[in-house]
Amino acid sequence: MIKNALVTGGCGFIGSYLVDTLIEKGITVTVVDNLSAGTTTYLQKHIKTHSAAFYQYDIRDLDNLLSIPTNFDFIFHLAAQPDVKISVSNPQIDFEINTVGTFNILELMRKKDIPNLVFAGSSGTIYGEPDLLPTPENYPLKPISNYGAAKAAAEMYCSSFASLYDLNIVCLRLGNIFGPRSTHGVMYDFFHKLNKDPSKLEILGDGKQTKSYLYISDTIEAFTHLSNNINKGYDNYNVSSDEAISVVDIANEIVNVMNLKDVTFTFNVSGGWKGGWKGDVPNTSMNIKKVRQSGWSPKISIKRGIKHYINWLSNS
Ligand SMILES: NC(=O)c1ccc[n+]([C@@H]2O[C@H](COP(=O)([O-])OP(=O)(O)OC[C@H]3O[C@@H](n4cnc5c(N)ncnc54)[C@H](O)[C@@H]3O)[C@@H](O)[C@H]2O)c1
């Protein structure tokens, strides 16, 4: 039973939903977020009702993390630099936030005797361009972006810390997560481009890139399910849907949901990269047998999820 949780990145897209859910379950929540990308909009109601505390701290500053006076029994670590493109143009920042930042969270656990960690890892980037699709968890890690490398390195520290200091750590290797409150990603970009000019849509890459996606409500259920079933040591799970969809099919779905006609698609392949941009893995498909066997499975189809998300974007 989780009683007192720290959520890093709790002002972001996934973190804000996780905070809502933990509080609904009667768990006391403390959020750490430096607000570089997140917003306190969704947290305000919880602060007003004293269900959550908020520290505008950076995970790169371990002293600040250690100064928080609460005794946590769980950490959900989601704070990150989540953009592959930024990790290519600024590898140092990505390493400091995603690898060193995660190392600091592990140090916080070691120094403050916090036994449990749920870590938001990545499945789409750590395997690189695998020969085996759908890719299972035991496939070799061979990232082709610095973001993927930083997330993989962070996971390796999760493994060593769990073994050395007797911690319980589960890593959710997330696919592409989408849904309301998300302010980045291909669906967000397409919606805004089409809103601006409904006659045409520029697609980065050849549009054939095909990836695994997962709707936000299924993602949050995976977080709660796997945290309730956390075991001694370190473990990891691909958390995505079985479905994969191409970028062109996403574009077609969004055009349909927006009720647009005669939209011309143009393909920008000027970067000479197989994916949409440098470091982008063109094809991902996750083997989710392990997480299914644990008792979680996705419920919302990609097409249904796109409809919910685009309707939310249209009304917000
Ligand atoms: N969204 C996806 O498709 C996806 C896929 C795979 C993995 N993930 C991982 O899931 C987690 C959450 O992703 P998201 O989509 O909600 O991203 P997000 O950008 O919406 O949320 C990240 C939050 O972390 C905060 N943050 C960033 N750097 C920080 C720092 N140095 N110190 C403290 N706070 C900091 C931001 O302000 C933001 O609120 C991340 O770890 C991300 O790498 C996301």
Which among 57, 62, 78 is the best mutation to test ligand 1's pocket, defined by most ligand atoms within 8 Å of the CB? 78
Decide: 174 in ligand 1 pocket, CB within 6 A: yes
- C-alpha 289/C-alpha 39 separation (Å) is 35
Does 94 contact ligand 1 (Cβ within 6 A)? no
Nearest one of 204, 189, 170, 182 to 275, comparing CA atoms: 204
Residue 127 falls in the annotated catalytic set: no
pLDDT of residue 277: 81
Structure confidence at residue 163 (pLDDT) = 98
pLDDT, tens digit (0-9, with 9 covering 90-100), for 180-206: 999 999 999 999 999 999 999 999 989
Contacting residues for 223 by C-beta, under 8 A, at least 6 apart: 18, 21, 76, 118, 172
Q: How confident is the model at residue 270 (pLDDT cuts 50, 70, 90)?
A: confident
Residue 274, pLDDT above cutoff 80 = no
CA 265 / ligand 1 centre spacing (Å) = 30
Confirm or reject: Cβ of 98 under 6 Å from ligand 1: no
CA of 176 relative to ligand 1 center, distance in Å: 12
What global pTM score does this model have? 0.97
Q: What angle do CA 42, 14, 184 make, to 5 degrees?
A: 95
With a 6 A CB cut-off, is 65 part of the ligand 1 pocket? Answer: no
> Which atom of ligand 1 is nearest the CA belonging to 35?
37
Q: Encoding tokens for residue 18? A: 């996780």
- Measured from the Cα of 39, ligand 1's closest atom is 39
- Nearest of 245, 110, 264, 106 to residue 171 by alpha carbon: 106
Cα of 273 from ligand 1 centre, angstroms: 25
- Which residue of the set 55, 147, 157, 213 is catalytic? 147
For the Cβ of 37 lying below 6 angstroms from any atom of ligand 1, the answer is yes
Q: Ligand 1: does its nearest atom lie under 6 Å from the Cβ of 58? A: yes
pLDDT of residue 275: 72
Residue 276 near residue 84 (C-beta atoms within 8 A): no
Pocket test for ligand 1, best of 6, 7, 8, 14 (most atoms within 8 A of CB): 14
Question: For residue 199, how far is its CA from the centre of ligand 1 (angstroms)?
Answer: 33
Q: Does 118 score more than 80 pLDDT?
A: yes
Ligand 1 midpoint to CA 198 (Å): 30
Do residues 152 and 216 make contact, with C-beta atoms less than 8 angstroms apart?
A: no
CB 155 near ligand 1, within 6 Å: no
pLDDT at 46 over 90: yes
DSSP string, the chain: ---EEEEETTTSHHHHHHHHHHHHTT-EEEEE---SS--STTTHHHHHTTSEEEE---TT-HHHHHT-----SEEEE------HHHHHH-HHHHIIIIIIHHHHHHHHHHHHT--EEEEEEESTTTT-S-SSSSBPTTSPP--SSHHHHHHHHHHHHHHHHHHHHT-EEEEEEE-EEESTT---SHHHHHHHHHHH-TTEEEEES-S--EEEEEEHHHHHHHHHHHHHT--SEEEEEEES-S-EEEHHHHHHHHHHHTT--SPEEEEE-TT--SSSSTT--SB--B--HHHHHTT----S-HHHHHHHHHHHHHH-
Residue 34 near ligand 1, beta carbon < 6 Å: yes
Q: Where is pLDDT greater, at 173 or 205?
A: 173
Which of 51-60, 67-76, 275-284 comes out lowest in average pLDDT?
A: 275-284
For the chain, list the domains and their CATH numbers: 4-177+214-239 (3.40.50.720), 178-211+243-286+299-315 (3.90.25.10)
* Token representation of residue 191: 């919606």
pLDDT reading at 272 higher than 80: no
Ligand 1 centroid–CA 83 distance in Å is: 9
